Amino acid sequence: MTINQPLTELSVDRREETVTTQQPGYAATEQVTRDVAAERRQGFSMAVQIIWGVLGLLEILLGLRFILKLIGANTISGFAQLIYGITNLFVAPFDLLVGTPASGGMVLEVTTFIAMCIYALIFWGIVYVIRIVAERPSARTLTRSTREQTNAGVERTTHTTQSS
């Protein structure tokens, strides 16, 4: 006695469906293959691209802050205020971590550089975990085929492939 358990959408890697329609003097066969695993990988790939884009924007803003502090930019300037205002939130956890050497109006803000490195490592770790989840290897493949024929003469074959 066998017990058939339904396959969930997440466990199915590839789904093929063939529909054959026959009428007097006419026969048509249509085969559709849907690669669910590839669709899942595309979703993860898009998430990874968004994460890298966010990190790139954050690194650019922190880099601008580092350079503006290094060249002693006028803090009254609207652009400098905008950059400092946006990046203060991201640099705040690293304040007072190390000393900040200053000479005249120029400041070597090491904490901004440390923040850039730490955020790059955090984002890299997130992407690494996403890639592990997205590219899970399959050790076993199970294929189920179902063939139906209705009274109207329509034959429907469904192949379901599951990897685990």
The tens place of each residue's pLDDT in the chain, 164 residues long, gives 344 444 444 445 667 777 777 766 666 667 677 777 777 788 889 999 999 999 999 999 999 999 999 999 998 999 999 999 999 999 999 998 998 898 888 999 999 999 999 999 999 999 999 988 887 655 555 566 666 666 677 776 666 666 65
- Say if strands 26-34 and 102-103 run parallel, antiparallel, or are unpaired: unpaired
Is 21 part of any domain? Answer: no
Please report the pLDDT score of residue 43 as a whole number.
85
Is 83 part of any domain? Answer: yes
Between the alpha carbon of residue 69 and those of residues 47, 75, 79, the distances in Å are: 33, 9, 12
Please report the pLDDT score of residue 17 as a whole number.
74
**Alpha carbons 12 and 65: distance in angstroms, whole number:** 48
- Residue 123 backbone phi and psi in degrees, to 5: -65, -40
Is 5 part of any domain? Answer: no
Q: What residues make up the domain containing 96? A: 36-163
**Alpha carbons 22 and 152: distance in angstroms, whole number:** 9
Is 7 part of any domain? Answer: no
Is 6 part of any domain? Answer: no
- Cβ contact 156:19 at 8 Å: yes
pTM passes above 0.75:
no
**Alpha carbons 112 and 97: distance in angstroms, whole number:** 10
Is 11 part of any domain? Answer: no
Q: Is 69 exposed, middle or buried (0-12, 13-18, 19+ CB in 10 A)?
A: buried
Please report the pLDDT score of residue 143 as a whole number.
60
